[in-house]
Structure 1
Amino acid sequence: MHVIYGGTFDPVHHGHLRLALEISDRLGVGVVSLVPCHIPPHRGQTGASSDQRLDMLRLAVSGEPQLQIDDRELAREGASYTADTLRQLRSELGPDEPLVMVVGTDAFASFDRWREWQAIPDLAHVVVVRRPGPALDPTGKPAQLLAERAVTGLEALHCRPCGAFLELDPPLLDISATGIRERIRDGRSPRYLVPDPVWWEIRRQGLYGACPDGNF
């Protein structure tokens, strides 16, 4: 089984990393691939460049064998679309290998507005992680799709290559990249919200309005 967890990681923080490890343990896979997007199609410009976000991600996962980085979206021009990534992965893995993408309920709420969203269940399983905030609109297409394709056991993900939707409610660290950027911009420390090497890199480069620190 191949599992991917995508996002802007702007910056990567302990909430991202802890969730990825929870997913690895829950699904019984040795590795989860973190897939940083190049240009997010559903939000404005990122606070750090693609290269800067990738550097921070590398610092964050260094020494953790359960987490690896897949930078394929950074190598593509234009906006990063999930269907394109899944299609590329499916061509590499073959038709029979289970492929799983992980998404939070906040992002999944707009699933029916993703480009080629109807094709995604034919390419991968979808694990929807419940996040703090409003529940899915039960009358909306994402909630209906989740109900139609829902499975309750992990064996459904292992025994076929795609098409199943599984809801998980793992313990989450309530940390947001938006809050971290705001904290840094206001001159407050985000230490213990992000890995120390990431915070040092933010300071070294003066990212998100941080005062550059020549000691790093």
Structure 2
Amino acid sequence: MKPLALFGGTFDPVHLGHLSVSWEAAELLDAEVRLMPAHVPPHRHAPTASPAQRVAMLQAALQGQDRLTLDTRELRRDGPSYTIDTLRELRAELGERPLVLLLGADAFAGLPSWHGWRELFDHAHIGVLNRPGIDAAWSVELALEIGPRRVADPRVLHELAAGKVIELAVTPLEISATRIRELLAEGRDPRYLLPAGLFDDPALLAPYRH
């Protein structure tokens, strides 16, 4: 059964770096990838754009393909967007379909600070998005937890619903959403950092213009 993978974030705004690593992960895993915007991210400042504005940008960015899709469930939930709550909900919906949580290497290294982090493995695999040839530094606590879970072959994830960790060597684009917001606030046009669809409607980028 083809896995469903989740790539979360504020997407404030969604940029080509988000789409590039999501697409590459979809190819490496042979999976559907859902982009899942967070409502109130526990570890970050509140987004500049509203939930509706971020959804509109994502819808524009994802046009013309069907491998990357959009899941807005966290925006419909009040309070902080805890990943464990989302995974519990999805597991109840998916039955035994494999589920993969995609995390950047830095976010994965900080996993022990997450709410209910050990329970994540009961509901999903974790795909760690790494730069090729770069090994992340993990705490002893994290290394001990994931040691028995690590696999190298993506096909293993097709056969199990949850519980494994795989490192995915992707090609990250060094694009900063903070810098994009700064450029837009200055009245500039960061055309090659954002999906082309975001420039089709001036209203989409209006939250960042001053």
Q: Could you tell me how far 1:181 is from its partner in structure 2?
A: 1.3
Q: How does 1:183-194 map to 2 (within 5 A)?
A: 183-194=183-194
Specify the alignment match of 2:51 in structure 1.
50
5+ unaligned residues in a row in structure 2: which ranges? none
Specify the alignment match of 1:197 in structure 2.
197
Once residues 71 and 51 of structure 1 are traced to their aligned partners in structure 2, the CA distance between those partners, rounded to angstroms, is 10
Q: Give the stretch that moved more between structures: 42-51 or 193-202.
A: 193-202
Specify the alignment match of 1:78 in structure 2.
79
Once residues 57 and 78 of structure 1 are traced to their aligned partners in structure 2, the CA distance between those partners, rounded to angstroms, is 22
Q: Could you tell me how far 1:150 is from its partner in structure 2?
A: 1.1
Specify the alignment match of 2:105 in structure 1.
105
Root-mean-square deviation (Å): 2.0
Once residues 10 and 144 of structure 1 are traced to their aligned partners in structure 2, the CA distance between those partners, rounded to angstroms, is 34
Once residues 179 and 143 of structure 1 are traced to their aligned partners in structure 2, the CA distance between those partners, rounded to angstroms, is 33
- 1:5/1:33 contact within 8 Å kept: yes
TM-score of the two chains, using structure 2 as the length reference: 0.90
Paired residue type of 2:58: L
- 2:149/2:165 contact within 8 Å kept: yes
Specify the alignment match of 1:34 in structure 2.
35
Specify the alignment match of 2:169 in structure 1.
169
The Cα offsets for residues 119-148 of structure 1, whole Å up to 9 and x where unpaired, read as 00011000000159x963343433443434
Q: How does 1:142-161 map to 2 (within 5 A)?
A: 142-161=142-161
Q: Could you tell me how far 1:204 is from its partner in structure 2?
A: 5.7
- 1:136/1:143 contact within 8 Å kept: no
Name which of 13, 16, 20 aligns with 1:14. Answer: 16
SS at match of 2:151: coil
Q: Could you tell me how far 1:202 is from its partner in structure 2?
A: 5.9
Paired residue type of 1:66: R
Q: Which has the higher contact order (CA 8 A, sep 6+)?
A: 2
SS at match of 1:206: helix
The Cα offsets for residues 17-64 of structure 1, whole Å up to 9 and x where unpaired, read as 1111111111112x2111111111111111111111111000100121
Once residues 42 and 155 of structure 1 are traced to their aligned partners in structure 2, the CA distance between those partners, rounded to angstroms, is 32
TM-score of the two chains, using structure 1 as the length reference: 0.88
Once residues 147 and 24 of structure 1 are traced to their aligned partners in structure 2, the CA distance between those partners, rounded to angstroms, is 24
Once residues 118 and 204 of structure 1 are traced to their aligned partners in structure 2, the CA distance between those partners, rounded to angstroms, is 38
CA spacing shift, 1:187–1:181, aligned 2, 3 Å:
same
Q: Give the stretch that moved more between structures: 139-148 or 184-193.
A: 139-148
Once residues 175 and 129 of structure 2 are traced to their aligned partners in structure 1, the CA distance between those partners, rounded to angstroms, is 15
CA spacing shift, 1:145–1:60, aligned 2, 3 Å:
same
**Is 1:87–2:80 an aligned residue pair?**
no
Q: Sequence identity, in percent?
A: 43
How many residues in Structure 1 have an aligned counterpart in Structure 2?
207
5+ unaligned residues in a row in structure 1: which ranges? 212-216
Paired residue type of 1:149: R
Once residues 108 and 178 of structure 2 are traced to their aligned partners in structure 1, the CA distance between those partners, rounded to angstroms, is 18
